[in-house]
């Protein structure tokens, strides 16, 4: 066990955990930020995606000891009122079915649009291929990303 100080959603949090503990479990078990989901534990499904700085990362493979000064953003911190363009597009296109994977999908999509505001279909697929949706909402996910990208461009 060791003491760590991490920045999550704009707040600095101090906690005592084993340094090997992945951020996924720090967020869920210790900080009760449960929007970040457990799906596979081996970075294959993307349900646990958060932002580390501006990058989408799989928090199940991100030990707390490796986070350092970098800011972590979770689905709870993506926007103040759930009105990030990607969240709005997700609602407009009515993407979710069971909804379990969608936080991870949204975090990957929002990081993509930050680095590439109007991605091509191939670029969208390339970025989103690491996120499994077992309900099969992929066509809507693509459509929602394009909708959010269009709003970005228009804004």
Contact footprint for another protein (CB under 8 A): 1, 17-18, 20-22, 25, 28-30, 32-42, 44-45, 47, 74-76, 78, 82, 87, 90-92, 94-103, 106, 121, 124-126, 128-129, 131-142
Between the alpha carbon of residue 109 and those of residues 47, 54, 129, 150, the distances in Å are: 12, 12, 11, 14
Task: Give the chain's length.
Answer: 155
Contact between residue 108 and residue 56 where contact means Cβ atoms under 8 Å apart: yes
**Least gap, CB of 56 to another protein (angstroms):** 14
The whole-angstrom separation of Cα 49 and Cα 105 is: 8
Q: Which is nearer to another protein, 51 or 140 (CB)?
A: 140
Contact between residue 127 and residue 119 where contact means Cβ atoms under 8 Å apart: yes
**Least gap, CB of 93 to another protein (angstroms):** 9
**Least gap, CB of 68 to another protein (angstroms):** 19
**Least gap, CB of 107 to another protein (angstroms):** 9
């Amino acid at each position: 066990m060791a003491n760590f100080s991490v920045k999550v959603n704009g707040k600095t949090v101090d906690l005592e955990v084993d340094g090997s503990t992945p951020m996924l479990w720090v967020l869920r078990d210790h900080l009760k930020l449960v929007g970040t989901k457990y799906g596979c534990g081996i970075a294959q499904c993307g349900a646990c995606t958060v932002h580390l700085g501006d990058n989408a990362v799989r928090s199940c493979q991100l030990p707390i000891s490796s986070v350092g000064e970098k800011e972590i953003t979770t689905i709870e911190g993506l926007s103040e009122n759930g009105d990030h363009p990607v969240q709005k597009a997700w609602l407009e296109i009515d993407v979710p079915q069971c909804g379990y994977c969608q936080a991870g999908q949204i975090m990957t999509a929002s990081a993509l649009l930050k680095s590439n505001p109007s991605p091509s279909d191939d670029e969208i697929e390339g970025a989103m291929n690491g996120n499994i949706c077992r309900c099969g909402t992929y066509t809507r996910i693509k459509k929602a990303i394009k909708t959010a990208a269009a709003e970005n461009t228009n804004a």
